[in-house]
Amino acid sequence: MGQRLATLILLAVLALGGMASVVRADEDAPTAADDEKAPPTTEQSAVPAETQDSVKIPYATRFSGVQSSQLKTLLKQVSQLVAFEDGPTDSEAALRRRANADMDRLREVMASAGYYDAVVTYEIDKNFKPWRVLVDVKAGAPYLLKEAKVVPAEGTELPPGIAFEPADLGLQIGARAQASVILDAEAQMVQRCTENGYPLARSTGRETIVDKADHSMHVTYKLDSGPAAAFGVTTTTGLETVDQAYVDRRIKWAEGDLYDSRKVEATQKALVDSNLFATVRVTRADSVGEDGRIAVKIELGERRQRSIGGGVYYDSSLGPGVRAFWEHRNLFGEGESLHIEGRFGTDQRSALAEFLRPDFIIPDLTLRSQFTLDNEQTDAYEVRSATAFTGLVRKFSPTLTGGAGFEFQQAHVNDDTGAQDYTILDMPIFLKRDDTDSLLDPTRGTRLGMTVTPYHSIDGTNLDFVGLRATASAYQRLTDSDRFVLAGYANVGSIDGVSLGDLPRDLRLYAGGGGSVRGYGYQQAGPLDSNGNPRGGLSSLETGIELRTRITDTIGIVTFFEGGSVFDTHYPDLSEGLFWGTGAGVRYYTPIGPLRFDVAFPLERRRNDDFFQFYISLGQAF
């Protein structure tokens, strides 16, 4: 990542270097000649020639004079001194050659950040072991953006109705003249055209004037918008088992609509998200037809539609478990999927079959049907159950999803008070918003959810009640990269309309475990009955915070602090307090998500609580 970022910076500097520049000052900009002259040849080095080949000099690089941590990071990323300091140099002369070569690179980085008068020097301090190369950066006064304008390329006109003011391009007059921002504005200029009916728009160049008299920059962008156009004929290639109708429903434009590159990008994303295609490429023609329309081509490569998989997990309370599944993602040619899964653990065994029918009646409406068999043994109860669900899920926007359905549950429950059978019909209704950047390893954004579920007994038992659950989690990078991420969550549950004694134990609310309050056993973060078993409650509250630190590209560590409990009242009673736990973990990052290894300790440890809990699974805890 660092090398890619450094390369982009150098490209940006070179691009700006290609600008037609005018310097309004008598004083020339600093050059490499102003810095320390080249060191003596190897024969003149302080190290005797006959020992040069055998001497290895370790060193460390230190930067001073740079206040911005971001800018210092960029300097280190392009520095060859830093890149090769793990390998000792052959001689002082070789070290100086490396340092001299670095000076131009570092000045270019400073110029790209708007410091065109930066002076970068170095010295070697031999009093330390290893030696220290001290790089001093005197940034000088920053150059500010004074003017930015868009003009038509020769022989063209600016497209009507599209604003090209600095703010429209993401520029701020008076801000530091950074190369990356100036280049981004050029791309934004073209994008504003392609989003508003000009598919062939392009930049024909830019002119930059750096005025050293008042430390300012003036930028002129040249635009060739090309002809206006509407969407023309769309052709699709590469389909084998997927129906054309399925693809057509994911195309976000109609023939004759004004061309908009955002619709092209949305179409490509929708096809990628379908999980039916290994490759998706949506391209426009190179020219606009005589009818004022531009053709679009969709090139697809289907992926294998069947897959099998499996995994293992471990929890100190629940013990080890295995999971296996089989999936078909295109049963009838329009993205219908069938997922069959089995789980077998020490205390939990289940079988599941799920069918999804996308675009049910209308686009973005999915029919979901599921049948589940469960056999679960916990400290609180033993239950054997069968559940059948069918409902609809609607995607209202890329971040907002809602749905409702009907669920039939039949169960046989055993606990320390005896056995109980029940048959209920419930109707879960949910709405959730998710604008995070990753399903298994989010580093930015929030997740909000609300589910309301009315329950009705159909076997004569007194089980008519309403359940409510609200969830929230947030993720925030603490730096410009994802090296440090602060994450937090809070969940609230409530059951109303039934007493705790009448509610079967498997339908009660619990807290504790790997997906709840770590440090406590499964369902153990709450009151216990006289036998030391979880009693469950009519309401619950869980909350926690976690700091995620990425050490390398594949290794990370986390520290966390969490609390929660369940309550006999219909709504959480904070006066009763929470059960708190803390711990740390290791993350091993894989292409499919992080592997999680956590150890946690209860801070409100009781006689029945273990000293610690250990968890292994795929994905972050929340």
What are the C-alpha distances in Å from 519 to residues 18, 512, 613?
Answer: 59, 8, 5
Structurally, at CATH architecture level, domain 388-618 sits in: Beta Barrel (2.40)
**Number of Cβ within a 10 Å radius of residue 354:** 17
SS3 416: coil
Averaged pLDDT, 393-421:
94
pLDDT tens, 117-161?
A: 999 999 999 999 899 999 999 999 999 999 999 999 999 999 999
DSSP conformational letter for 232: E
Confidence class of residue 46 from pLDDT cuts 50, 70 and 90?
Answer: very low
pLDDT tens, 335-355?
A: 999 999 999 988 889 999 999
Rounded CA separation 260/191 (Å):
10
pLDDT at 513: 92
CATH 2.40.160.50 residue spans of the chain:
388-618
**Number of Cβ within a 10 Å radius of residue 45:** 19
CATH 3.10.20.310 residue spans of the chain:
31-138, 230-302
| Superfamily of the domain at 230-302 | membrane protein fhac (3.10.20.310)
pLDDT at 416: 85
pLDDT at 417: 85
The residues, ordered by sequence, that sit 6+ positions from 112 with a Cβ below 8 Å of its Cβ are 9, 12, 13, 16, 178, 179, 180
DSSP count for the chain of H helices, then E strands = 7, 26
Q: Model pTM?
A: 0.74
Rounded CA separation 181/170 (Å):
8
Q: What is the CATH number assigned to the segment(s) 31-138?
A: 3.10.20.310
Averaged pLDDT, 401-405:
98
pLDDT tens, 527-547?
A: 998 888 999 999 999 999 999
Asked if the model's pLDDT at residue 317 lies above 90, the reply is: no
Asked if the model's pLDDT at residue 245 lies above 50, the reply is: yes
Q: State both tokens at 495.
A: 């059951």
